[in-house]
């Protein structure tokens, strides 16, 4: 397996991976959204195109959309669309932040975060 860009250049432009879509799907996924591979996704991923397969393999443990973009060296917008596609196809489970829109994390999450950081 070769990483995109690691051998001197990407053959297919990043936006071709999403067939030109960057706005219609997945636009609203926050960049910290966590993604995990599903069981069926892990057993079926070998038939996928390279970038999509790498995303499924990478998401054996929770990975953020931002990490996926960085590891595959693709723009965030492209990562959002690919993740969204793979989630629709049943390959991935998407774990959104608990709060939505402009809200901030609630007291329960903040207290847990504080406990976790203090314990480090």
Partner 1 sequence: MDFGRADRLPTGGVPLGTPTAPNYPPAGYPAVPGAPGAGLQPPRRPAPIPVKTVIAGGFGVGKTTFVGAVSEIQPLTTEAVMTSLSEGIDDLSAVRGKTTTTVAMDFGRITVDDQLILYLFGTPGQSRFWFMWDDISRGSVGAVVLVDLRRIDDCFGPIDYFEDRRVPFVVAVNNFPGTDRFADADIRDALALRPDCPLLRMDARDARSCLATLILLVEHALARTTAA
Binding site for partner 1 (CB under 8 A): 1-3, 5-7, 30-34, 36-39, 42-43, 54, 57-58, 60-62, 64, 66-67, 69-71, 73-76, 93, 95-107, 109-114, 116-118, 120
Q: How far is the CB of 48 from partner 1 (least distance, A)?
A: 13
CB of 19 to partner 1, least distance (A): 20
- Helix, strand, coil fractions of the chain, as percent rounded to 5: 45, 10, 45
Half-sphere exposure of residue 46: CA atoms within 13 angstroms, side-chain side: 1
Parallel, antiparallel or unpaired: strands 92-95 and 63-64: unpaired
């Amino acid at each position: 397996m070769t990483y995109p860009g690691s051998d001197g250049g990407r053959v297919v432009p990043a936006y071709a991976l999403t067939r030109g879509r960057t706005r219609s799907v997945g636009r609203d996924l926050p960049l910290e959204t966590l993604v995990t591979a599903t069981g069926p996704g892990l057993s079926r991923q070998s038939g996928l195109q390279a970038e999509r397969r790498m995303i499924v393999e990478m998401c054996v443990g929770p990975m953020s959309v931002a990490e996926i973009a960085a590891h595959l060296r693709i723009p965030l917008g492209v990562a959002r669309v690919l993740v969204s596609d793979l989630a629709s196809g049943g390959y991935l489970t998407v774990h959104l932040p608990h709060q939505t829109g402009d809200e901030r994390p609630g007291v329960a999450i903040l207290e847990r975060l504080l406990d976790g950081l203090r314990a480090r």
